[in-house]
Amino acid sequence: MSDVSQPAVLTERLDGVLVITINRPEVRNAVNAAVAEGIAHALDELDGDDALQVGILTGAGGFFCAGMDLGAFVKGESPWFGDRGFAGIAQRGAKKPLIAAIEGFAVAGGFEVALGCDLIVAASGAKMGIPEVKRSLVAAGGALLHLPKRMPYHAVMELALTGDPWPAERFHELGVVNRIAEPGGAVAAAQELASAIVKNGPLAVAASKEIVQKQFDWTSENAWQEQVAISGHVFASDDAKEGASAFKEKRDPVWRNA
Compute, in degrees rounded to 10, the torsion defined by CA atoms 180, 57, 188, 96: 100
- For residue 163, count other CB atoms closer than 10 A to its CB: 18
Q: How far apart are CA 218 and CA 215, in angstroms?
A: 5
The catalytic residue positions are: 112, 132
